[in-house]
Structures are given as structure tokens and as C-alpha cells.
Amino acid sequence: MKHKSVLFGLLAVLALLILSACTGKQIPPAQPEPTAATEGHDDGDEHAAEPEEHVEGDEHEHVEIPQAYEEMNNPFAGDAAAAEAGQVLYQANCASCHGATGQGDGPASTALDPRPANLADADMMADLSDGYIFWRISEGGMMEPFNSQMPPWKGTLSEEEIWQVITYMRTLGQGE
């Protein structure tokens, strides 16, 4: 009698599994949802902000800079001592992802999607305002539309240190 109860229980569970599999609903395979950072980008380049003009075929998401950052200008622009201080900060905080020379090829970059920005790209850097770069460093990239792994640095670096890093970053593409 005990064996019949166990057998009946197993058959009931098996029948429920079969019936639940035959509901007719098909679940599509998981596909990553496109984000504003990846739409229109073959390489997932999320670094798009300025200017309004584009090279033919260059599709970037234009991101409105928050007003608090929009009018910011680097108080250390062109200051060699600030660039030196920024280089030390950059190597300690940024090089693991962006690479020692800013080309987005740091040791951690291979595990990141999207890949870190190539800060040595002189054309890209020329298109980015000081306020935009300050915003991206301060707030990081873990929000829409960027969806990157860049953490917000405003709790780690002071405003002065962020400006020093930006001053150094502006020197990266000058040797090309």
C-alpha cells in the first residue's frame, strides 16, 4: 500500500510537470535590451556628448549635460604643475581601466563592456567640454545612457583633484 502511494505521488508530480510544460506559452531566448549607449554603435562606444556636428556615418547619442556642470571650466587648464599632480592621480585611479597612456587598454579593460574611453583620442577629447568631463568623472558612468562600469569619483577625489586629472587627460593625445 505504501509503495502505491509513493508511485501515485510521483506520477501526479510528473503529470503536473508535463502539463505545465504544455501551456503553449513560449519564452523567447534572452536578448540584451539595447540601451541608449549601445544603439547605433557597432563598438558600444558610449562616449558621446558634443559637438552638434558629425562626421558622416558617426552616430552618437547626444547627452544633455546637467546644468550644474554645463558652464564649468577647468581652473588649471594648461598648468604644468596641475598636469603633473593629475598624472599621479590618474595612474593611481584611472590607469587600471583607461591604460597608462589613456588608450582604454588598461589591464581591467578586457573585462569591461563597454570598453573604457580612449582618452588619447585627441579629436574626441577636443570635442568634450571641461564640464562634460568633470560630470563624467564625478558621477561615473553607471547611469543611462552610458551603462559603463566607471564608478563615481566625487566621493574619492576632491574637485581640485578631478580638475588636475582633467588637466593631465588633456595632455594624453598631444603627442600624436
**Distance from C-alpha of 122 to C-alpha of 100, rounded to nearest angstrom:** 16
**Structure pTM?**
0.66
**Distance from C-alpha of 114 to C-alpha of 38, rounded to nearest angstrom:** 9
Residue 151's domain comprises 67-175
Domain for residue 8, yes or no?
Answer: no
Does the structure show a pLDDT above 90 at 164? yes
Average pLDDT value for the chain: 78
pLDDT tens column, 40-68? 444 444 444 434 433 333 344 568 899 99
**Distance from C-alpha of 96 to C-alpha of 169, rounded to nearest angstrom:** 15
Q: How far is CA 56 from CA 41, 53, 60, 117, 129, in A?
A: 14, 9, 11, 21, 22
- Residue 79, domain CATH: 1.10.760.10
Q: Which residue has the higher pLDDT, 157 or 175?
A: 157
Domain for residue 154, yes or no?
Answer: yes
Percent of the chain with pLDDT over 70: 64
pLDDT tens column, 101-126? 999 999 999 999 999 999 999 999 99
- Secondary structure (3-state) at 142: coil
Domain for residue 158, yes or no?
Answer: yes
**Distance from C-alpha of 137 to C-alpha of 163, rounded to nearest angstrom:** 10
Domain for residue 159, yes or no?
Answer: yes
How many of the other CB atoms lie within 10 Å of CB of 111?
A: 9
| Residue 7 pLDDT level (bands cut at 50, 70, 90) | low
**Distance from C-alpha of 50 to C-alpha of 68, rounded to nearest angstrom:** 17
Domain for residue 5, yes or no?
Answer: no
Domain for residue 60, yes or no?
Answer: no
Domain for residue 87, yes or no?
Answer: yes
Q: What is the pLDDT of residue 9?
A: 64
Cell matching residue 157: 577625489
**Distance from C-alpha of 115 to C-alpha of 148, rounded to nearest angstrom:** 8
Domain for residue 57, yes or no?
Answer: no
pLDDT tens column, 21-47? 544 444 344 334 444 443 444 444 444
Give, for 112, the enclosing helix (H) or strand (E).
none
- What's the total number of domains in the chain? 1
Cell matching residue 162: 578631478
Exposed (0-12), middle (13-18) or buried (19+): which is 105, by Cβ within 10 Å? middle
**Distance from C-alpha of 128 to C-alpha of 51, rounded to nearest angstrom:** 8
Q: What is the pLDDT of residue 3?
A: 67
Q: What is the pLDDT of residue 101?
A: 96
Q: What is the pLDDT of residue 43?
A: 42
For CA atoms 157, 72, 146, 114, the dihedral sign is: negative
